[in-house]
Structure 1
Amino acid sequence: MYMVHAQLAAKSSESLPGGASEIFRGSAKPGESVEYVVVHPDTPVGPVVGLFLLARSLEQAEEIGAAVCGRALRTRRELSGFLLLGCEGRLVGPYFDRMFGWDGPGQVMPRPDHDSGNPFLDF
């Protein structure tokens, strides 16, 4: 299962309608395997649609997510005031860096301990 985010932009000051997650999920065709949809209408970058779906790869998941969202925006009158800017899997590296208390970007696992002969440090 993959989660992809579709970034939307409002053509004017419109807000997404109530029930938008059901509208997007209902726009999936049989075989597109959209399992769940969540809508974040007011993020700092604009509306975001999160789609959880079954796919063979992240690339396929992104393509399906874009197709489903594009179809909803083209066919549903209540969504005609929005544009699809893109659909992609989001990287969560910075989240784990903060969670583990690491100061800068980099590895999500400790560096190897070459002096001990153990290629991995104990957690």
Structure 2
Amino acid sequence: MHLIHAHWRALPEQQTPDSLKVWLKASAVPADALEHVSVHPTGPGRLTLGLFHALPRLRDAERAALRLSRRACDDGPLRAYTLLSCGSVMVPCYHNLLLAETPDTGEDGTGQDRFRPGANAWDPSGPRQD
């Protein structure tokens, strides 16, 4: 499953359509593999959609989210909005660890506890301090 964010802006400012979540789920085709939709108003006239697609490849999930977003803009409740961006969500801490010179495998050696807060907290802008 992949989370894709679609960021929108409306000019002039609009309220988030009440039926947006229902419309998106009803408008998805089986090939979109849309599992869940979250709607987040992020400011006056701004909106972020979280689209969860159960597709094996990220590229396919991003394409499905873009198709669905275009339908919402062309024929649906977001006609007054402009799509600003549509893509996967990056997790900077994870990618910083991938680029580190010495891999961190966590306390138990599996790498499963690297992102837990507490004693292993670290500043992502610099090297990890254990």
TM-score after normalising by structure 2: 0.70
Q: Deviations over 1:11-67 (max 9, x none)?
A: 211121112111122221122110110100125993100011111311111111011
User: RMSD in angstroms over aligned alpha carbons?
Assistant: 3.0
Is the CA contact (8 Å cut-off) linking 1:27 and 1:69 kept in structure 2? no
Q: How does 1:55-70 map to 2 (within 5 A)?
A: 55-70=55-70
CA separation of 1:63/1:104 partners in 2, compared to 1, >3 Å: closer, same or farther?
A: same
* Larger deviation, residues 62-71 vs 11-20: 11-20
Q: 1:17 to 1:33 in 2, by over 3 A?
A: same
Name the CA shift for 1:44/1:18 in 2 (closer, same or farther; >3 Å). Answer: closer
Q: Is this contact kept in 2: 1:36–1:53, CA < 8 A?
A: yes
Q: Does 1:80 align with 2:100?
A: no
Mapped to 2, the partners of 1:97 and 1:46 lie a distance apart of 30
CA distance in 2, matches of 1:93, 1:4: 16
* Rounded Cα–Cα distance in structure 2 between residues aligned with 1:104 and 1:45: 32
Larger deviation, residues 97-106 vs 11-20? 97-106
Q: Which amino acid aligns with 2:121?
A: G
1:90-101 to structure 2, matched below 5 A, reads: 90-94=89-93, 99=117, 100-101=120-121
Identity score, percent: 29
Match of 1:118 in 2: none
- What secondary structure does 1:17 align onto? coil
Inter-partner Cα distance in structure 1 for 2:60 and 2:67: 10
Q: TM-score, with normalisation over the residues of structure 1?
A: 0.73
The gaps in structure 2 that reach 5 residues or longer are 95-113
Structure 1 unmatched runs, 5+: 112-120
Name the counterpart of 2:46.
46
Report how many aligned residue pairs link the two structures. Answer: 109
